[in-house]
Copies of this chain bind each other. A is one copy, B any other.
Amino acid sequence: MPLKRFDRPIILGMVGDSASGKTTLAAGVARILGEDRVATICTDDYHRYSRSERAENGLSALDPRANYIDILEQDLARLRQGKPILKPVYSHDTGDLVAPEYIAPKPYIIVEGLLGYTTRAMRDCYDVKTYLEPDEDLRVDWKIQRDTAKRGYTREAVLASLEKRAADSPAFIHPQRIFADIVIQFRRPEGQTAESGARLDVRHILRPTLPHPNLAPLVDAGAKNELSLDLARDHDGKPVDVLGIAGSITDQRAAALQNLLWDLIPEASHLRANVGEFTNAENEQVVSHPLALTQLLIAYHMVKAALGIHAI
């Protein structure tokens, strides 16, 4: 790792509600950083109870009491020290707790899940903290799509589960948003209703807790409806930058934004080869510039952290 200034792994947090796009985004960031240099941990594996036990005790998987939060805290601290962990494993297929998995330290670690920022001890472990907050109707569509296709639920069961969890998300998931350096909001463009991944817009709410790249030159020169950067107040009244990337952004402008980011991290130029994989990924029928650029912006922060720039 010629570009690593630190011996310890650089840790990315990716927190958000169920089906908010964490796995997809994490996989894209890992592709850029190099899959062999990244370990991805899912906090769902720290569930304390099997699905049937939760049905009995009435606890939602979103509830910290239904998770080994203290063990997760310790494992994150171990990973940050570059030590291996024996991560528990929750099988989404069967709903059972199964044999744990040995995770060797890697230069980059992505921690994605429902409960990544619950305690101070956990939050202190991250170099970059993101929070995924897609529009709620989009998230519901994503959840139905995934849970019926990959986890064997019926559409009715998914809707019932959403209903049952209605109180848990505001109680346990949403309060973590405030700890994120970047809140990422995928949304359908104004007036569009049917889902179309390629057409989604994205907004990044950038908190001044990370030194974000200076995008002003690009934005000033560009069509405001493709790329925007605006000073705004967040829900809580705090000042933030809001970066907007429209699904309709042209290939040229997307490439210009990519170039700008790479120019800011010349030490990582050997990673540029990995970005092409967005367009070649077999499971993606359409290229999404907002998704690709979001992945790249996060990877940019990880590389900067590895270089020790954020620490200066």
Interface, chain A (partner B; CB < 8 A):
48, 68, 70-71, 74, 78, 83-86, 88, 96-100, 102
This chain: how many copies in the complex? Answer: 2
A100 near B102 with CB under 8 A, answer: no
Shortest C-beta distance, A47 to chain B (Å), equals: 10
Q: How far is the CA of A97 from the CA of B71 in the complex (A)?
A: 19
Q: Can you list 11 A-B contacts with CB-CB less than 8 angstroms, sorted by A residue number?
A: A48-B102, A68-B86, A71-B85, A74-B83, A86-B86, A86-B88, A86-B100, A88-B100, A98-B99, A99-B100, A100-B100
Q: Which of B68, B78, B99 contacts A102 (CB 8 A)?
A: B68
- Residue among A78, A83, A86, A102 having the largest count of chain B Cβ atoms under 10 Å: A86
Q: How far is the CA of A84 from the CA of B85 in the complex (A)?
A: 14
Q: How far is the CA of A78 from the CA of B102 in the complex (A)?
A: 18
CB-nearest residue of chain B relative to A71?
A: B86
Extra contacts besides A71-B86, A86-B100 (9): CB < 8 Å: A48-B102, A71-B85, A74-B83, A86-B86, A88-B99, A88-B100, A96-B99, A99-B99, A99-B100
Shortest C-beta distance, A82 to chain B (Å), equals: 12
Shortest C-beta distance, A260 to chain B (Å), equals: 43
Shortest C-beta distance, A74 to chain B (Å), equals: 6
CB-nearest residue of chain B relative to A81?
A: B74
Residues of B within 8 A of A85 (CB): 71
Q: How far is the CA of A84 from the CA of B46 in the complex (A)?
A: 14
Shortest C-beta distance, A182 to chain B (Å), equals: 31
Residues of B within 8 A of A86 (CB): 68, 71, 86, 88, 100
CB-nearest residue of chain B relative to A86?
A: B71
